Amino acid sequence: MKNKINLVFLAIALLPLFSISCSNMLVDVNGTIYGTVTDKDTGEPIQNVTVSLSPDSRNFTTGDDGIFEFVGLKAPSQYEVQAQREGYATAHKTVTTIAGGDVNADLTMKKL
């Protein structure tokens, strides 16, 4: 009887350790798409580009560095990334997100 009581107390004492290890096993099911929009001829980043994501309908406007990023995207899923700015031809790329990972979608735009 004493051995059974000791086993119960041991199980109760180890329960929090099991809970902690299980919480560390959570898997990130989201992904990120990021990139830089650059000029095709000069290689320089382009600012004020509207980068849109489909079918998610998100938009991002690049800063001086030409960088864009879309986080928390369903993965794995396929997305169309499109860049538009007056004076440039539209650029686009199709990418597939990776659960818990980042996918590069750099875009180059040609001046009209």
Instruction: Write down the domain spans for the chain.
Output: 30-109
Cβ burial, residue 99 (10 Å; 0-12/13-18/19+) = middle
- The model's pLDDT over 43-84, given as tens digits with 9 standing for 90+, comes to 999 999 999 999 989 999 999 999 999 999 999 999 999 999
Please say whether the beta carbons of 38 and 67 come within 8 A.
no
Task: Name, in order, each residue with C-beta under 8 angstroms of 69's C-beta and a sequence gap of 6 or more.
Answer: 32, 33, 34, 60
- Answer yes or no: are the C-beta atoms of 5 and 11 closer than 8 Å: no
Q: What is the pTM of this model?
A: 0.76
Superfamily of domain 30-109 in CATH is Carboxypeptidase-like, regulatory domain (2.60.40.1120)
H helix or E strand, kind and range, residue 15 = helix 2-23
4-58 pLDDT, tens digit each: 555 555 456 555 555 554 445 566 789 999 999 999 999 999 999 999 999 989 9
